[in-house]
Structure 1
Amino acid sequence: DFSLDLPALRQAMDEHQPAVVFLAYPNNPTGNLYAESDILEVIEAAPGLVVVDEAYAPFTDASFMSRLGRHDNLLVMRTVSKMGLAGLRLGFLAGPPAWLAEFDKVRLPYNINVLTQVSAEFALRHKAVFDEQTARIRAERERLAAALAALPGVRVFPSQANFILMRTPPGRAGEWFEGLKARGVLIKNLDGAHPLLADCLRPTVGTPEENDRLIEALQALAG
């Protein structure tokens, strides 16, 4: 189920004493949210900083932002990329002021150009537009997940991101990937990327029309 292996993680922290532990929340490429209690246990046990990467925050209601200030070693990262502004290459880090002051010492001068700043300010003044967009994606995610789960032999994993991880029948991920590509539909083939991702494909949630095209193509391949 792609949950955190806490015993293994704690053993690794005890052995290696990492200065920083990064956790993606939701995770990529699986799309799942780790249990909040598991992340809190990591924060309490970590010998150094714990950075929670919330790049996919627009697609979930879960967040560790509200816990900042309760843990001296917790930092949260976010980006405007998943709001629909990937071209800006803009993100931010939130955390205890003392730690942010230390990071500021090594921040490159002029690390954000003027056009990016102006564009981000404009976008934030119109945040409601982007919120509507992510709401549509979240709704389509549920519809697409249900359609994928209805395919014979397919397992769909719960997602709180803008993509869905699915496991095809054994040995068919590559065949389906190539079949989709031949039909003009390109998704991510994760088969072979890691043993836990065997037979897995990862489509991104698109427009209703794009999702319909994906569903129809997969139905033809699965049939």
Structure 2
Amino acid sequence: MSKCEEKKSGGGKWLYPFSLFFRIVGMALAVAAAAFMATASQCTVYADYGARPHTLTYSDFPPFVYLVVAVAIAATLEAVAIFLSVCKKGKGKKKATRVLMPLLGVLVPALLYTAAGAAFAAGWDIYYYWEPSGRRLSVCASAVGGRFCAQVHVAMWLALGAAVAVSLAEWAASRRCHRGGGGGGGACSDSDSDSDCESSCGHGCHCRH
């Protein structure tokens, strides 16, 4: 079977909805991760030497701040990728797709993985350093810190899940690009598949006999 016949048989048509589905899942998980982390502020810690109590928020921990910012940016960029994947009309859009899709395919997973990695590296048992004494207090060990830590932990896993989902979407997109020729790979398709392939990898599909 020639590559043109293989393409027309529709063996890889599942890759486009697969990729689109996981793009949407990744964006949703990223938004949820940012929301969970940004609202984690229900914990008040008390020092045993008479200092004023302090209500903890995610902003007291730089890795958690990075998670909120990074996943919010990633969700926005993934929304752009979804738009480019779905909308297939307009010469300007095709040019933007060729430039943006490869960039988004690298930048979004990088933001999500580094955000999740930074949050997990901060430690599962979250510690707060009380100034000016520098005493280390275990937030999760206290009863009042349970809800705060639980919310932070959920945000970590959501960010990691978003990274995995986006990676699966990019894998499917790269497979479609490979099967469709990616601008010189040798497979053939109709005009609709050409647009789909451009949305996947930023190049058109061509048929060569």
Shorter-chain TM-score bucket reads under 0.3
Larger radius of gyration: 2
Which structure ranks higher in relative contact order (CA pairs < 8 Å, sequence separation ≥ 6)? 2
> Which structure is higher in helix share?
2
> Which structure is higher in strand share?
1
TM-score by length of 1: 0.23
